[in-house]
Amino acid sequence: MDKNLSSEGERKTNCAEQSKCFQLLESILDGENIPDGDKILKEKLEKCQPCYKHFHLEMAIKELLKTKCCHQITPRDLLDNIRKKVQEIK
């Protein structure tokens, strides 16, 4: 078996351009407009284990951040105070 393939023989276990690939994957994950982004992503996830692992870990962390760190409750008096102060400077 090729030493550069994962045990399932589906993905290579080493990425020759890891630095470049990880940067690209993070940009795609962040919604940056990368030409042929979908195609590149599909290919990397299908063929490269380090890319597959990096992308899914980054995605899991991003989702966790979004679901767990966005719900600070805005104090009720803040909005009223802002409106009051704005009236004063008008």
Partner 1 sequence: MSEVQRKKYSDKEKNHIFDQEFMPHIDSMYNFAYRLTFDEDDAKDLVQDTYLKAYRFINSFEKGTNAKAWLFRILKNSFINDYRKKSKQPAKIDYQEVETYYNSDDVDYSSTTDLRVDAVKDMLGDEISNALNSLAVDFRTVIILCDLEGFTYEEMAKILDIPIGTVRSRLHRARNLLKDKLRSYAQTMGYDTDEEE
Query: CA 44, CA 49: separation in Å to the nearest integer?
Result: 8
Q: Identify which of residues 18 and 42 has a Cβ nearer to partner 1 in the complex.
A: 18
Identify whether the C-beta of residue 54 lies closer than 8 Å to the C-beta of residue 25.
yes
Q: In 3-state terms, what secondary structure has residue 15? A: coil
Minimum separation from the CB atom of position 43 to partner 1 (A) = 18
Q: Which residues ranging from 55 to 84 are in contact with partner 1 (CB under 8 A)? A: 56-58, 60-62, 64-66, 68-72, 74-75, 77-79, 81-82
Fill in the per-residue mask, 8 to 47: x = in contact with partner 1 (CB under 8 A), - = not in contact.
----------xxxxxx--xx--xxx---------------
